[in-house]
Structure 1
Amino acid sequence: MTPVLALSLRSIGNRRLSVALTVIAVALSVALLLGVERLRNDAREGFAQTISGTDLVVGARGGAVQLLLYSVFHIGNASNNVSWQSMQRLAALPQVQWLVPISLGDSHRGMRVVGTTADFFTHYRHGAGRALGFAQGRAFAAAPDGLFEAVVGAEVAARFGYRIGQRIVLSHGSLGGEGGPRFADHADKPFTIVGVLGRTGTPVDRSVLVGLEGIEAIHVDWHGGAPIPGLSIAPEHVRKFDLSPKSVTAALIGLDSRVAVFRVQRQINTMGPEPLSAILPGATLQELWSLVGVAERALLAVSALVVAVGLAGLVAVVVASLGERRRELAILRALGASPLQIFALLALESVLLSLAGIAGGLGLLYGAIALAAPWLSASYGLDLAAGWPSAGEWRLLGAVLGASLAASLVPAWRAYRYSLADGLTIRI
């Protein structure tokens, strides 16, 4: 151990209380900075994996972001539906391994109703390829047995206290939240809850899923988007009608090989007679994140300011201690220490405090991840990684250490300029 390092450690030990408070302040700011960075990266990855394992999303001709918003996030409405004949043509393409149709337009107490098939529960993936799981019950059965069966997302079940066997009423249209304006209720054809999905942190949590035939069944006595006056067909008689879907909103498509995804995309975009748009969900999610990612960059800037405040406190503590250490520094000069060694002593102390704060910040970060990760995963579907710091985090730590070294130059320069006579002079 070098003499300067030994002196630095002894000096730090003599000022344990103030040093401990400074290290805690730096550790908290570093933990906040790294926590925001890790949360930012993991949130971006989770956002990009809202839907995974789906190669293409197909809907009516329109913008890619708009198609993604209404088909995956259930935000907004489609400009047009896609005919069932087009869905059949898409399913018949040789490269298509599976196709899951989606029909939107109805709601339940402000939550979106998604008409689909039982294949949705088989092929829908989120996160790192995770399948949908059931907290209770099962998927709805195929028509006619499961015509009026429904599966609710975790948030729907938690908010309204739904359980297996309860009956719910769907509403036409999707205006407003709970208690908001609705065009009309399908009260004459209630659905029975047969399954509750586990929490995924995706829009599926806020959805009510029913079969495509169920969507057709509640509209058999409707025409032009409104109920036919004086006509009401009972649920037991609906099964006699042809409930094959006429059109759907969009479709999720999985291919045999992802190598052919661009070729199939071009084929669908140029397919006649109905104009369609096929998008790559991953690429469009990244495009969407670039539009909404301003907040996470602002949050990172705020955490960087917190680190700057912590380092300013470090400098303030070291500078304030100089007045008490004038005699100590003068004695070191009298014993032969050069001004450069005094400079190195003060700079080294600041760096050691910063290193201790960085180590403490990492400890706080990993402790917080260990405590909060299960809750975040269960409540929001956000998986926080507790692995070794990434390259970006190492750069942030290097920036913190560099900033602390730069900040230490202020007290070190002041100590460098103290003369031997100034230190030994008795001030009254």
Structure 2
Amino acid sequence: HGLGADGLAADHTDKPFTVSGILAPTGTPVDRSVHVSLAGIEAIHINWNKIETDPTLARSSSDLRPRAITAFMLGLDSRLLAFNLQREINQYAGEPLLAIFPGVALQELWDLMRVAEQALRIISLLVAAAAMVGLLAVSLAALNERRREMAILRSVGASHLHVMGLLISESTLLTAFGIVLGLVLQNAVLLVLQPWLVDQFGLLLPLGLPGAREWATLGGLQLAGILVGLIPAWRGYRNSLADGL
């Protein structure tokens, strides 16, 4: 431990710990931690070689009681006392102490992460917009190739609205298929990578259906697909009129 491999780090490889048990997994970074007692931390800083040569220096278990610790968690019976206690600890003259609220510190961390989250949302919107543009381009390109097909439909009695409905339905079904395929692929990838993510990073990504916000996003994509289908549908409607004339 210490400041890394720059010569200021303390090496205690000659005083190994023995793992006495493995706790149940929690799906959090705690799963990657090793818990040792404070007495064990004190023990690794004792020169045991000197004790072996001079038995009079032997220490009892009470000598391993830590004289100082770097941090501890404190719980209060009343939240109303939290700010008063924080001020008293920070103003304590006997020792330079600092009291922090874990929730406040985590909120500051999430505020920093929110910038990256917003950037990812913008990227996802751009990807969705590119997908809609691609769908529109493919639909318009296919429309010119299917102009004869539309004329045949009109010749057998299909109305202009029927032709428009077919084109809108095509765009709607393609968008819905893309959404379903995306959900299936997402859960399949998570199912394969979940054990590795938990083991390497302690990151548990749950499987299942999307939440309310995700459903709203998917609904917006579906609506965008329908609106995109209106453009080739209108072009098909005008072409069918011209071909009919």
2:208 paired with 1:387: yes
Q: Does residue 191 of structure 1 match 2:7?
A: no
Q: Deviations over 1:105-124 (max 9, x none)?
A: xx0xxxxxxxxxxxxxxxxx
Alignment of 1:84-233 (within 5 A): 107=1, 174-176=2-4, 180-183=5-8, 185=10, 190-195=14-19, 201-202=28-29, 205=32, 210-216=36-42
Offset, 1:186: 5.5
**Count of equivalent residues:** 234
Give how far 1:308 is off. Answer: 2.8
Q: 2:222 aligns with which of 401, 413, 418?
A: 401
CA-CA distance at 1:247 after TM superposition: 2.4
Deviation of residue 238 (structure 1)?
5.7
Q: TM-score, normalised by structure 1?
A: 0.47
- 1:301 equivalent to 2:127? Answer no
Q: For residues 156 and 11 of structure 2, what CA distance do their matches in structure 1 show?
A: 93
Amino acid at match of 1:239: R
Q: Within the alignment, does 1:323 sit opposite 2:124 as a pair?
A: no
Displacement after TM superposition at 1:401 (Å):
0.7
1:418–1:286 distance in 2 versus 1, CA, 3 Å: same
Please tell me whether residue 360 in structure 1 is matched to residue 187 in structure 2: no
Counterpart of 1:252 (choices 64, 68, 73) is 73
Contact 2:165 2:233 in 1 (8 A): yes
Match of 1:267 in 2: 85
Inter-partner Cα distance in structure 2 for 1:233 and 1:268? 43
Q: 1:185 to 1:384 in 2, by over 3 A?
A: closer
- Cα offset, 1:405, TM superposition: 1.6
Structure 2 CA distance, aligned partners of 1:298 and 1:238?
Answer: 60
CA contact (8 A) 1:344 1:412 kept: yes
Partner amino acid, structure 1, of 2:50:
A
CA contact (8 A) 2:172 2:226 kept: yes
State which of 239, 259, 284 in structure 1 corresponds to 2:59: 239
* Residue-by-residue CA offset, 1:142-196 (whole Å, 9 max, x unaligned): xxxxxxxxxxxxxxxxxxxxxxxxxxxxxxxx223xxx21226466x93222117
* Bigger radius of gyration: 2
Cα distance in 1, alignment partners of residues 71 and 29 from structure 2: 18
- Structure with higher helix content: 2
Select which of 277, 286, 292 maps to 2:113: 292
- Aligned identity (percent) is 43
Cα displacement (A) at 1:374: 2.9
| Alpha-carbon distance in 1 for matches of 2:230, 2:208 | 34
Kindly indicate whether the alpha-carbon contact (under 8 Å) linking 2:176 and 2:222 is maintained by their aligned counterparts in 1.
yes
Partners of 2:206 and 2:35 lie apart in 1 by 31
Secondary structure of the 2:111 match is helix
The separation in 2 between residues aligned to 1:363 and 1:184, in whole angstroms, is: 48
- In structure 1, list runs of 5 or more residues that go unmatched: 1-106, 108-173, 222-231
Between stretches 403-412 and 244-253, larger displacement belongs to 244-253
Question: Is the contact made by 1:315 and 1:407 (CA closer than 8 Å) also made in structure 2?
Answer: yes
Would the alpha carbon gap of residues 421 and 307 (structure 1) be closer, same or farther in structure 2, given more than 3 Å must change?
closer
Q: Root-mean-square deviation (CA), in Å?
A: 3.3
SS of corresponding position for 2:72: strand
Give the Cα–Cα distance (whole angstroms) in 2 for the partners of residues 235 and 210 of structure 1: 23
Q: More strand per residue: 1 or 2?
A: 1
Letter in 2 for 1:263: L
C-alpha displacement at 1:233, in angstroms?
Answer: 7.3
